[in-house]
Amino acid sequence: MVGGGIVGLAVAWRCRQRGLRVTVHDGGDDDAAWYAAAGMLAPAGETSFGQEALTALLVESASRWAGFAAELTAETGLDLGLDARGTVAVALTGDDLAEAHRLWAYREERDLKVRRLVPSAVRALEPALSPRIRGGAHIPDDLQVDPRRVVAALRAALGDAVVPGRVGELPAGPVVVAAGTGTAALTGLPVRPVKGLVLRLRGEPGLLRHVIVGYADGRHVYLVPRADGELIVGATQEERADFTVTAGAVLELLRAATDLVPELAEFQLTETVVRHRPSTPDNAPLLGRWRDDVIVAAGHHRNGVLLTPVTADLIAGLVDTGRPDPLLEAFAPGRFA
Ligand code: GLY
């Protein structure tokens, strides 16, 4: 396995459960997308127009998360921070609400549950929201998990099968490439970096009860509260490969966050982190056999954490049996050739 991010580790774990011998070459945390990820498991909160096969895969993976987490916790004794209270989506202005209604309608057409709410009902669910909000919705089936805890648990489960160090070229023999943005240099496949800045704040635990997906004056922001008072604010999205934390990007996120939840201005800003989403020309992942001995599991764009369980199951199945699950069909790594 080349790549010790959340996807590579999970594939390796599933391969081991099938009795296969695995070595994971782990390039470390410095450019790993999971290290920034907030852990929203939101097929209804993150899907967008015209991505039917991807939407179906997101929904399928979301349905596998509870079982995946329970199994990993049973094996390692480690809690992954899985939380099932759902997402509250909120719109600050009338224009934001019109945009949100279009997205909610798209999701409802695909049988994803969206409960639309008037402002007073939104604020009954989340009293810390600004009185200025124009409307919102409860998306009850979304989950959240703490990706840093998931990676720690997968590393514990795999033990000395994880070998630190970046590889410059593909090792011989059957290999799975799950190297995120590094997949491009190793394979020539079109995986590009899409920069994201995420902030971590800390303050009063319980100020927010749900993950908040906000539309605020045309800006999109998500707020992911953890039980211990940590709150993740994400994320910018730029077609850039640098790691610079710009004042403007921090301002953009904090302005949207505090427009929606004014009390966040009192929170401590504890961490800024830039990582890069590994993205493809259609922003859907590359999953499946690419060359005789090379299988790819990369390019998950905004959905790496959510897609981890289904990716691990399908890719481990392919490695073990040599037969691709029909779900892999739309995601063939060679589809852009
Ligand atoms: N899934 C959230 C993000 O990529 O920012």
| 73 CB-contact burial (10 Å; exposed 0-12 / middle 13-18 / buried 19+) | middle
Identity of the amino acid at 171:
P
Same domain, yes or no, for 128 and 174? no
Same domain, yes or no, for 258 and 212? yes
For the Cβ of 277 lying below 6 angstroms from any atom of ligand 1, the answer is yes
Strand partners, 200: 232, 271
Q: Which element (helix H / strand E) includes 232?
A: strand 230-234
Same domain, yes or no, for 75 and 156? yes
For the Cβ of 302 lying below 6 angstroms from any atom of ligand 1, the answer is yes
Question: pLDDT of 167-196, one tens digit each?
Answer: 989 998 899 999 999 999 999 999 999 999
Report how far ligand 1's centroid is from the alpha carbon of 323 (Å).
31
CA 276-54-236 angle, to 5 degrees, is 30
Same domain, yes or no, for 1 and 133? no
In the prediction, which pLDDT does 111 show? 82
* 8 A C-beta contact, residue 96 and residue 81: no
For the chain, what is the domain count?
2
Same domain, yes or no, for 209 and 67? no
Ligand 1 nearest-atom number relative to CA 198: 5
Ligand 1 nearest-atom number relative to CA 46: 1
In the prediction, which pLDDT does 101 show? 93
Same domain, yes or no, for 103 and 211? yes
In the prediction, which pLDDT does 43 show? 82
Ligand 1 nearest-atom number relative to CA 235: 5
CATH number for the domain that contains residue 210: 3.30.9.10
The domain boundary residue, chosen from 254, 278, 302: 278
How many CB atoms are located within 10 Å of the residue 269 CB?
13
Report how far ligand 1's centroid is from the alpha carbon of 20 (Å).
32
* 8 A C-beta contact, residue 279 and residue 301: yes
In the prediction, which pLDDT does 107 show? 82
Question: pLDDT of 205-249, one tens digit each?
Answer: 999 999 999 999 999 999 999 999 999 999 999 999 999 999 999
For the Cβ of 196 lying below 6 angstroms from any atom of ligand 1, the answer is yes
Same domain, yes or no, for 68 and 147? yes
Strand partners, 193: 278
Same domain, yes or no, for 118 and 248? yes
In the prediction, which pLDDT does 45 show? 61
In the prediction, which pLDDT does 109 show? 83
Q: Which element (helix H / strand E) includes 325?
A: none
DSSP character for 278?
E
Select from 277, 280, 308 the residue to mutate for testing ligand 1; criterion: most ligand atoms less than 8 Å from CB: 277
Residue nearest to atom 1 of ligand 1 (CA): 302
Give the 3-state secondary structure of 4-45. CCHHHHHHHHHHHHCCCCCCEEECCCCCCHHHCCCCEECHHH
Report how far ligand 1's centroid is from the alpha carbon of 98 (Å).
22
Same domain, yes or no, for 204 and 77? no
CATH number for the domain that contains residue 161: 3.50.50.60
Same domain, yes or no, for 1 and 136? no
Same domain, yes or no, for 218 and 325? no
For the Cβ of 234 lying below 6 angstroms from any atom of ligand 1, the answer is yes
* Separation between Cα atoms, residue 155 and residue 16, nearest integer Å: 13
Report how far ligand 1's centroid is from the alpha carbon of 18 (Å).
31
* Separation between Cα atoms, residue 252 and residue 273, nearest integer Å: 15
For the Cβ of 276 lying below 6 angstroms from any atom of ligand 1, the answer is no
Report how far ligand 1's centroid is from the alpha carbon of 41 (Å).
10
Same domain, yes or no, for 76 and 3? yes
Domain hosting 322: range is 1-83+142-191+280-337
Q: In what order do the strands lie in the sheet with 115-117?
A: 115-117, 135-139, 87-91, 211-216, 219-225, 230-234, 192-202, 268-279
Select from 61, 302, 305 the residue to mutate for testing ligand 1; criterion: most ligand atoms less than 8 Å from CB: 302
User: Mind listing the pLDDT tens digit of every residue in the chain (337 residues)?
Assistant: 999 999 999 999 999 999 999 999 999 888 899 999 999 998 866 666 678 899 899 999 999 999 999 999 999 999 999 999 999 999 999 999 999 999 888 888 878 899 999 999 999 999 999 999 999 999 998 999 999 999 999 999 999 999 999 898 999 889 999 999 999 999 999 999 999 999 999 998 999 999 999 999 999 999 999 999 999 999 999 999 999 999 999 999 999 999 999 999 999 999 999 999 999 999 999 999 999 999 999 999 999 999 999 999 999 999 999 999 999 999 999 999 8
For the Cβ of 235 lying below 6 angstroms from any atom of ligand 1, the answer is yes
